Amino acid sequence: MDIHEILKRLPHRYPILLVDRVLEVEKGKRIRALKNVSINEPHFNGHFPHRPVMPGVLILEALAQAATLLALASTDLVLDDTTVVYFAGIDNARFKRVVEPGDALFLDVTLDRAKAGIYKFGAKALVGDQLAAEAELMCTMRRITP
- The catalytic residues are 47
Write the DSSP string, 41-88.
SGGGGTS-TTS----HHHHHHHHHHHHHHHHHHHHT----TTEEEEEE
What SS3 state is found at 112? Answer: strand
What is the distance between the alpha carbons of residues 96 and 110, in angstroms, rounded to a whole number? 19
Would you say 139 and 77 are in contact if contact means Cβ atoms under 8 Å apart? no
The closest alpha carbon to 23, from 13, 35, 33, belongs to: 33
